[in-house]
């Protein structure tokens, strides 16, 4: 078994030396940001939080909904969710709502959830027509208006007159007819590309309105690159029970974190120079990587991840520890835990590295 490997400023270094350097960087920092976390197991996230509390660090998981100005609530208000098994077993109308047709629907297809047939109708709404689905063509920018119009239709209101709304109204009328003929409606959604949260909110309201008339639910699809652990739900859940929010934590404190949505997210903290050290646990969103690169000379970086490559870094101190593989527990979007990797391989685990950092830090601070 291969253990963790490390580099310091791009040069291969023994793990023990890299750990000591990381401890030094974090211990001497004015203010540390701990970010990433969404592809780390729960055990490692907990260890990262322990470290954050020791350092009084800011914490942000880089999740999309925390970065939204409206925060996490807007995205969840009124959502009626289910999983693919529910879709497979009950829905006679499946609507793919502005999903990426190739990747998202492939995921669903693998689960056997959208096999078409005489008793199941498949309708895709959005810019691109997936193979085998009826298609209602609407531009991506129309997602919010389409959801609002559908909601109005389901609530019994007339479609607005006027040529500006004509294509939208035609599409929604077709959809409303299909919904009217169905007994159970499953709607596939693809969270992510919704910076304000309005599209998700508008659709959630429409689905809840529909659910008053007949069984209806949304199935959010998360697209995660192959080989990447998805523990976004775990990160948000654990951070919330520890600090009262899933990110945007100004200072890690178990008695009540200082929640500053859209103020203390990772990108803003880095861009404004409010942190001078970043502990990146796992993969980071592209925007965070860009922010780190832009402030490289002012920022110490400790990176713990599985990636084999390393973004070039022109300046600033950087310790990069690659752990062997993720092992531990992750939380699915459905709220269920599952085990990944070999828990027995804890000697190589991320949690162990984080615990090691924590155990060394008081010494460094002193």
Partner 1 sequence: MTLPAPLSEPRFVLTGGTLHDPATGRDGVVADIWVEGGRIVSPPADPAGFRRVDVSGRVIMPGGIDLHSHVAGPKVNAGRLIAPQLAAGRRGTCPAAVPTIHATGLLYATLGYTTVFDAAIPPASAAIAHRELAELPILDRGIYLLAADEEPVLRAAAGTDAAKLARLLATTISTGRGWAVKVANPGGPAFWKRGRRGDQHDLDTQLPGLTATPRQVLERLATAVTSLGLPHPLHVHTANLGLPGNWRTLLETMRSLAGRRAHLAHVQFHSYSGGDLDEGSFGSGVAPLVDFFNTHDDLTLDVGQVLFGDTVAMTADAAAAEHISHATGVPLVSHDSHLAGGCGILPIAYREQTLIHAWQWAIGLEWFLTVTDPWRVALSTDHPNGACFTAYPRLMRLLGDAAFRREALAGIHPTVRSQSPLAGLNREYSLQELCIISRAAPARIAGLPHKGQLGVGADADIVVYRRDADLARMFALPAQVYRGGLLVAEDGQPRSLEPGRLLSAAVPEQ
Name the site residues for partner 1 (rule: CB under 8 A): 42, 71-73, 76-83, 85-86, 90, 208, 211-215, 217, 237-238, 240-246, 254-259, 261, 329, 331, 334-337
d(C-alpha 78, C-alpha 94), whole Å: 20
Neighbours of 280 (CB within 10 A): 23
Nearer to partner 1, 116 or 362 (CB): 362
Output the CA angle 105-174-148, nearest 5 degrees.
Answer: 80
Q: Smallest distance from the beta carbon of 84 to partner 1, in angstroms?
A: 10
Query: Which CB sits closer to partner 1, 9 or 86?
Result: 86
**Nearest to partner 1 of 76, 120 (CB atom):** 76
Phi, psi of 320, rounded to the nearest 5 degrees: -125, 115
Compare residues 260 and 320 and give the one whose CB is closer to partner 1. Answer: 260
What is the C-alpha to C-alpha distance for residues 70 and 258, in angstroms, rounded to an integer? 17
Q: Within 13 Å of residue 194, how many CA atoms lie on the same side as its CB?
A: 25
Find the shortest distance in angstroms from Cβ 210 to partner 1. Answer: 11
By C-beta, is 208 or 322 nearer to partner 1? 208
Let me know how long the chain is.
366
Query: Residue 20 or 53: which CB sits closer to partner 1?
Result: 53
Helix (H) or strand (E) holding 322: strand 318-322
The single residue listed with the structure tokens 């029970």 is: 241
CB of 250 vs partner 1, minimal distance in Å: 11
Distance CA 333, CA 83 (A): 9
Instruction: Give min distance, CB of 256 to partner 1, in A.
Output: 3
Nearer to partner 1 by Cβ, of 48 and 291: the residue is: 48
Tokens 């899933």 belong to residue: 246
d(CA 178, CA 162): 23
Please state the closest distance from residue 67 (CB atom) to partner 1, in A. 15
The CA angle 11-14-20, to the nearest 5 degrees, is: 95
Q: Give dist(CA 95, CA 99) in Å, integer.
A: 10
Q: How far is the CB of 68 from partner 1 (least distance, A)?
A: 13
* Closest to partner 1 by CB, 46 or 304: 46
Q: How far is the CB of 107 from partner 1 (least distance, A)?
A: 18
CA distance 298 to 58: 17
What span, in angstroms and rounded, lies between the C-alpha atoms of 203 and 17?
52
- Provide the minimum distance between the beta carbon of 208 and partner 1 in the complex, in angstroms, as a whole number: 7
């Amino acid at each position: 078994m291969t253990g963790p490997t490390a580099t310091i400023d791009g040069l291969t270094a023994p793990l023990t030396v890299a750990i000591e350097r990381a401890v030094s960087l974090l211990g001497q920092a004015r203010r540390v940001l701990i970010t990433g976390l969404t592809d780390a197991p729960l055990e490692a996230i907990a260890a990262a939080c322990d470290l954050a509390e020791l350092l009084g660090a800011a914490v942000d998981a880089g999740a999309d909904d925390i970065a939204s100005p409206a925060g996490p609530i807007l995205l969840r208000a009124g959502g009626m969710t289910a999983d693919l098994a529910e879709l497979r077993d009950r829905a006679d109308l499946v609507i793919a709502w502005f999903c990426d047709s190739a990747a998202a629907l492939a995921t669903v297809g693998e689960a056997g959830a959208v096999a078409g047939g005489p008793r199941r109708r498949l309708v895709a709404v959005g810019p691109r027509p997936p193979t085998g689905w009826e298609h209602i063509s609407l531009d991506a920018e129309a997602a919010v208006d389409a959801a609002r119009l559908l909601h109005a239709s389901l609530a019994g209101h007339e479609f607005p007159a006027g040529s500006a709304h004509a294509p939208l109204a035609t599409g929604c009328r077709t959809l409303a007819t299909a919904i009217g003929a169905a007994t159970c409606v499953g709607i596939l959604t693809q969270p992510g590309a919704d910076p304000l949260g309005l599209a998700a909110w508008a659709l959630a309201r429409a689905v809840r309105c529909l659910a008053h008339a007949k069984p209806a639910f949304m199935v959010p699809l998360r697209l995660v690159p192959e080989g990447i652990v998805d523990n976004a739900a775990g990160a948000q859940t654990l951070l919330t029970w520890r600090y009262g929010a899933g990110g945007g934590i100004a200072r890690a404190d178990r008695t009540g974190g200082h929640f500053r949505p859209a103020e203390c997210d990772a990108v803003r903290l880095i861009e404004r120079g409010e942190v001078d050290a970043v502990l990146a646990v796992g993969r980071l969103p592209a925007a965070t990587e860009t922010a780190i690169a832009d402030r490289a000379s002012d920022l110490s970086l400790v990176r713990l991840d599985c990636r084999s490559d390393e973004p070039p870094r022109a300046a600033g101190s950087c310790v990069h520890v690659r752990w062997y593989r993720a092992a531990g527990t992750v939380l699915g979007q459905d709220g269920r835990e599952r085990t990944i990797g070999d828990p027995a391989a804890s000697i190589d685990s991320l949690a162990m590295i984080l615990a090691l950092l924590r155990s060394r830090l008081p010494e460094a601070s002193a």
